[in-house]
Amino acid sequence: MASGNPGNLAATAVYGAPITIGVLSDTHVNDRGSRRLPPQIPAMFDRLGVGLILHAGDLNSLSVLTILEEVAPTLAVHGNSDLPETRRLLPARIDLEVGRFRLALIHGDAGRTADRTAEELIGRVDGVVYGHSHVPRIEEIGGTLLFNPGSPTDKRWWPDYSVGLLRVNDEGIVPELIVFRAAADLDRIVE
């Protein structure tokens, strides 16, 4: 989603470097239920000077994007559990140019596993940001960074909650996973 205008979102976005990118996925926020985006996440992204936020799908509520866009421009793709309205408004893939690097933002539900879906892009881009599995991953294969931030609200098959950062400069892409047990743990994270 690009600054509140999801219907006109281009499939390609260009950003300069250096930049710190906040990354999250699988928030599964239900506006009528108890699961909300912890306010500590946008507050931490703000403290860390995030200039762009990527959401790799399964928002379940567009309100998540509204909250994140208060911190920085936010791009998002739809996931398999998103509502039909969200699936109409958000693309399945966004290609980004960040400095000299090419990134792909996907959810990861197009194949047998999220990891295999991401791995199909090895050699085609410099980095793949994806979700779907709720299991964090930072791995470089064949010159392509595979980055799954896990989930900040629904840990499922992983013992902790997590979000990520990508610090992009002229030299490279530096991924960081921020793992936490309770949202209040994020209050202690500073630059």
**Does an H or E element contain 116, and which?**
helix 114-119
Q: Are 43 and 190 in contact (CB under 8 A)?
A: no
pLDDT tens digit at each of 191 positions of the chain: 443 334 334 467 899 999 999 999 999 998 777 788 999 999 999 999 999 999 999 999 999 999 999 999 999 999 999 999 999 999 999 999 999 999 999 999 987 899 999 999 999 999 999 999 999 999 999 999 999 999 999 988 888 999 999 999 999 999 999 999 999 999 998 87
Asked whether residue 82 is assigned to any structural domain, the reply reads yes
Asked whether residue 83 is assigned to any structural domain, the reply reads yes
How much is the pTM?
A: 0.92
Asked whether residue 52 is assigned to any structural domain, the reply reads yes
Q: Which residue has the tokens 């762009």?
A: 52
Q: Are 129 and 13 in contact (CB under 8 A)?
A: no
Asked whether residue 190 is assigned to any structural domain, the reply reads no
89: domain range?
19-185
Q: Residue 122 — φ and ψ, nearest 5°?
A: -60, 130
- Quote the pLDDT of residue 12: 74
CATH number, domain containing residue 145: 3.60.21.10
Asked whether residue 61 is assigned to any structural domain, the reply reads yes
- Quote the pLDDT of residue 11: 60
The total domain count for the chain is 1
Half-sphere exposure of residue 165: CA atoms within 13 angstroms, side-chain side: 23
The rounded distance, in Å, linking the Cα atoms of 97 and 125 is: 10
Query: pLDDT of 77-128, one tens digit each?
Result: 999 999 999 999 999 999 999 999 999 999 999 878 999 999 999 999 999 9
Asked whether residue 191 is assigned to any structural domain, the reply reads no
Strand partners, 141: 144
Asked whether residue 3 is assigned to any structural domain, the reply reads no
Three-state helix/strand/coil letters over 30-58: CCCCCCCCCCHHHHHHHHCCCCEEEECCC
Q: What is the largest CA-CA distance in the chain?
A: 44
Asked whether residue 2 is assigned to any structural domain, the reply reads no
DSSP-assigned letters across all residues of 49-102: T--EEEE-S--SSTHHHHHHHTTS-EEE---TTS-HHHHHHS-SEEEEEETTEE
Tokens at residue 108, please?
Answer: 């990861």
